[in-house]
Each structure stands twice: as structure tokens, then as C-alpha cells.
Amino acid sequence: MHRTYFTTTSAVGTPDVSAAVALPSGKATLPTGLFINNKFVPAVGGETFQTVNPSTEEVICAVSSAQAADVDLAVAAARQAFKTTWGKHCPGTERGKLMFKLADLMEEQAQVLAEVEALDNGKPVKIARDFDIGDSVACLRYYAGWADKIHGQTIETNDLQKLAYTKHEPIGVCGQIIPWNYPIQMWAWKVAPALACGCTIVMKPSELTPLTALMLCELIVQAGFPPGVINCVPGIGSVAGHALTYHLDVDKVAFTGSTLTGRKIMEAAAKSNLKKVTLELGGKSPNLVFESADLDQAANWCLLGITYNMGQDCTAGSRVYVQDTIYDTFLQLLIKKFEQVKVGDPYDEKTFNGPLVSKGQFEKVLGFIDEGKKAGAKVITGGGRQGTKGYFVKPTIFANVTPNMRIVKEEIFGPVLSLASFKTEEEAISLANATTYGLGAGLHSNDAKQCMRVSGALEAGTVWVNQYNLLNNNVPFGGFKQSGIGRELGQYALDNYTAVKAVHFNYGEELEWPPV
């Protein structure tokens, strides 16, 4: 029998927590409040912060800025929903239906979401629409399919009159802290498995890119999710993020961002209530090109590896090592391809690189470029800002690099590649693994045995063979070494949001007392 579990609440967004913006497809009114219990509300104390268009350096609008008191309200809403309408109170099939509905709504709104992403983040509209949003819709559908397939096991014990079984129960209220580089995709990677498992959510988007996360809240209401299941508290990391990670009624925190903030989150969990933590952190990923590789293809993948999303990518293939016998040929190919990257207006459908996300990120990347030059590395192409307005950076290749240079060791998070050569396979592996990170790694070779050997030796959570930077919603993703804890995506992500309960069931044995 079909049963309706929830009714849709009325439209959200009040005049004081919304802003009108001009988009290529017309004027839009965007929500700018905190989203708690399916309503947009101002911060209790009225605090706001400004979000800036990185193409023009102009303020887009003010957004409510959650403080500790607001986080308390959002966590209370999430707890109430967990105890009443979600969690164990809503069958998986119903959770899945709502998630499918949300995916459909997101797909319908892909163009306007992409335009707002281009406005707030600088991401080219075509990439936002076709990849970020396309993959996020697919991610929601993938986990919607899981929602009624989260089973435990029946386990035989040594006793014939007893039975043991496990249940995979939702962990509870989850704090989810996401970064600015993939605002919609990181939202989907966090929200989708948590909803499928029956958890409720308090989401904190980055202060640099809060707008699309808030637009998605409108879709949450339209899809019919009960109040409190998903809440959103835009705000400053050291205030709203800090409050969430130290909160005593948050059962789990999932985080994507820098390794530095990841450490703070583990510390917060340890010092508060030992909440469960998953971390997806930084990288300094190597891309190895062997002499047997299809060089044109390898150059395409290496280019994609460092210029996709303007290099603001945790798996950016920022260190390319090329076998010495093909180094010169490969370098020429790569230069040609780098110089064809179209950098400019993110609203232009042909743009591949928009601006970096913020003044801070722009200055950080330019600082690394200056430092590389001073340290003796040679700029082969690019090497600075593009234009005079907006945070645009030319895709840059450095050669003559040495392993101790900061541009080779540290995550730059911009379109800056360092290129060096190697002689042997052993040397390539050793260079690739000489990092504290272990998120991604790539290798390009037409020798199948070499591909097997090298992929086995690389210390990274994801290894790409003859490709780079492509992920699938059904394949796990996460880091070795200091690149993180836990896995997102695929069936593996369900472990992050469930607690395993073992039930020992006695249906016959009588206990004689005293037992001896």
C-alpha cells in the first residue's frame, strides 16, 4: 500500500534573507539566510558576511553568518528530525523516493545553479552545469538506490538456540563542512550517503561560496523532506565550523578541505564527545609519463590534471615526472596544449579556466609562482596573472625544479605544474612517493606489466592508469598518508554514516544458576 509520509512545507525565503542578482538567464532572487527546520532565517544576532564575485572582485550580496547560538538551533532541529521523522522513523524506500525527487529538481535547475556557481566561485558555467551538477545529480540517484539496501548480517554462533544479527543503524546528527572548490559536488558527496543511511544533517558551506548550497535548500523543501533533516549554516570556519565540530550533540563530522583544518577537526572531536570523523584533505599528486606512453594522450591528461577547476583540486596532478628519453618531445607537446587553454569569462561556454576563487587564493598562488622563480625554477609558460581585474592566473609550467623546492612539496591549489625527468621506473616511483600526501597519482604507459607494477607501488588512495582526475560515484575516493581518513563515494561511504549494532538473540537456552 502506498503511504505518504510527508507533506511539503510552504515556500521559503523572506525578504530580509534573500538577494536579487543578475544572471545571464535573467534576474534571480537567491536565499541568503541560514536554513533551519525548512525555513530561511537570519542569524539570531543578525550577523552577516559578504560573498564576492571573483571575476569582477565586486560584492555579490551579504549572507547570514551563523554563530554558536545558530549552530545550536540547527543541531537541535536535526536532532528532533532524527528522533521523529527520519533515522529509524522513515523507511529506506521513502528516503530514497525523496532523494530521487531532489535529484530531479536539481537537474531541472541545472542552468541557474551553474550560473550562480560561476558568479560565486568563478567556475566556468559549462563545467559547473555538465560536470559538477551532472555528477551531483547522479550521486544523489546512486545513493537514493542504496537507501533501502542497507542491510546487516545474520551470524551463526556456536549455540544452536541462539542467533546473532547485525543492524546498520544511522549514526545520528552529522556536521558536514565543505570547501569552496566544488561547492555543489562536495554537498552531494556528503548529503547523499548521509540521507540514504538515515542521518540528519547540519551543513556548513565555505564562506567563499555559500550561494548554491542555499539554493539547494529551496529544492529540499520542494522535494518534501521533513523539517530539520537537512539544515544549512553558512558562516565563518573558525566560528560556525568550530561550533559544529565541538558540539556535544553532533555524532559525526565529515570534512573536506585543508590538512591544517582537518587536524583542528580531529582535535575538536577528541576534546568534545569523540564524534566520528572522516577527512578528505590535501594532495601533491604525481603524474608519471613513461617512454612507451601515447604522448599526445598523456599530455592531454596531464593538462587536465592541473588545469581542471583552475588547479583548485585536491587531486591536482601538480608534479609531472617524464622519462628522460621523451622529456623534450613531451615538453613541447605540453607547452602547446597549455597555451591553448582558454582563460576568461566563466559565463562564456568556451572558457575552460575562470578566475581563482578569492583574493586570498589568488595571492597564495601568485606567491608560490614568485617563490618558484626566486628558487631557480624556470617558467616555461604562464607565470603570472592574466589581465588586471579578477583573480585570473595563467596556466603555468615550471621546469628545472628540485625536490626540496616549496613549489614541488606543497599544495599550491592553482594551475601551476612542476615538471622533472626520471631515468628508471624505480626512480619514478621514489619521486612520486616522496610526499606526506597520498590522495591521487597517475601513470601513463603502454606496457601493461609496468602499469600493474607501478600502480601497485604508488602510495595513493586513487591511481589513474592512462587517464587522470576522473571519478565515479560508485568507486571509493579518499587518501593515504596525510590526505585523509575514511572513504567517500561507493558502498564504502555508507560505513561513514552507519553504526553497526550486534544483537545476540536467545530463543531457547536457559541459564542455570549458579553457572558452576
H/E segment holding residue 449: helix 448-457
Question: Of 64, 181, 307, 323, which lies in the binding site for ligand NDP, with binding defined by CB under 6 A?
Answer: 181
**258 scored as a contact of ligand NDP (CB under 6 A):** yes
Find the shortest distance in angstroms from Cβ 488 to ligand NDP.
11
Residue 496: helix, strand or coil by DSSP?
helix
Q: Does the protein bind ligand NDP through residue 230 (CB under 6 A)?
A: no
- Beta bridge partners, 18, equal 31
Please identify which residue in 70, 135, 169, 411 interacts with ligand NDP, judged by CB under 6 A: 411
Asked if residue 238 binds ligand NDP (CB under 6 A), the reply is yes
State in angstroms the smallest separation of the CB of 77 from ligand NDP. 20
Q: Are 351 and 124 in contact (CB under 8 A)?
A: yes
Cα 374 to Cα 371: distance, rounded to the nearest angstrom: 5
Query: Closer CB to ligand NDP, residue 108 or residue 363?
Result: 363
The two most distant CA atoms of the chain are separated, in Å, by 87
Question: How many Cβ atoms are within 10 Å of 461's Cβ, its own excluded?
Answer: 21
Element (H, E) at 80: helix 68-84
List 28, 76, 236, 399, residue binding ligand NDP (CB under 6 A): 236
- Catalytic residue at 280? yes
Of 37, 206, 351, 469, the residue at the interface with ligand NDP (CB under 6 A) is 206
Measured in whole angstroms, the distance separating CA 215 from the mean position of its chain's CA atoms is 18
Residue in the block written with cell 547560538: 69
281, 326, 441, 443: residue in contact with ligand NDP (rule CB under 6 A): 281
* Residues 360-399, interacting with ligand NDP (CB under 6 A): 361, 364
- Cell matching residue 1: 500500500
Strand partners of residue 29? 20
**169, 280, 411, 459: which is the annotated catalytic residue?**
280
Nearest partner of 213 among 73, 360, 30, 393, judged by Cα: 30
CB of 114 to ligand NDP, least distance (A): 20
Q: Vertex 310, ends 309 and 313: CA angle to 5°?
A: 55
Q: Which stretch binds ligand NDP (CB under 6 A): 16-24, 39-47, 200-208, 342-350?
A: 200-208
- Helix crossing, 110-121 with 183-197: angle to 10°? 120
Instruction: Pick the stretch among 31-39, 205-213, 284-292, 445-453 that binds ligand NDP (CB under 6 A).
Output: 205-213
Q: Point out the residues that are catalytic.
A: 280
Would you tell me which residues interact with ligand NDP (CB under 6 A)? 177-181, 204, 206-208, 236-238, 241-242, 245, 256-258, 261, 264-265, 280-282, 314, 361, 364, 411, 413
